[in-house]
Amino acid sequence: MSADAGTFAAVGFALYAAHMVGGHWVQREREALGKGAAGWSGRYLAARHVASLTAVKVLFLAAVWLVFGLSLAPFAVVVGLVVDALSHWWADRRHTLARLARRTGKGGWWDHDPQAPYLLDQSWHTGWLFVAALIVTGVTS
C-alpha cells in the first residue's frame, strides 16, 4: 500500500531541507575539505559527515511525522535513509563522481567550470533524496 502525495511531499521536503542544513551548516570544515582524500582518512571523514547528515535527516523526518501524524513504516524509513546515506557517501568521495561525470560526457564541464563539481554533486544528492522519499513513503505497515 502506498502513501498519498501529501505524505511523499512532506517526506521529500523534509529530506531536502535536512540535506541542505546538514550538508552546509552541520558538516564540519575538516569533513568538507577532507572527505574526498585518498585512503582511510578520506573514507572516515566522508562517513562521519554522512552520519551527522543522516542524524539531521532523522530529526527532520521525526518533525514532519509528529506535526502531520504521518503513517510511515519504520523499516521503509530505515531502508530509505540507508540508500540515501550510501549514495551520499559514494558521491562525496569525489573521485567517484568525477569518474561518472567523465563517463557520461561531462568531464570537460567538470574540469573547466569551477561550479560544475558542486552542481553535479548536489543534483546527484537531490536525485537520491527523491528515491529515498519514494522508498520511505512507498511501503507502509
Convert the pLDDT of each residue in 23-54 to its tens digit. 999 999 999 999 999 999 999 999 999 999 99
Whole-number percent of the chain with pLDDT over 90: 94
* Other CB atoms within 10 Å distance of the CB of residue 64: 20
Q: Which of 30, 62, 59 is nearest to 46 (CA)?
A: 30
Domain coverage including residue 113? 5-138
80-113 pLDDT per residue, tens: 999 999 999 999 999 999 999 999 999 999 999 9
Look at the chain and report how many structural domains it folds into: 1
Question: In this model, does residue 2 exceed pLDDT 80?
Answer: no
Q: With a threshold of 0.85, does the pTM exceed it? A: yes
Task: Enter the C-alpha cell of residue 45.
Answer: 571523514
Ramachandran quadrant class, 126 (left: phi over 0; alpha: psi -120 to 50; beta: rest): alpha
Q: What is the rounded average pLDDT for all residues in the chain?
A: 94
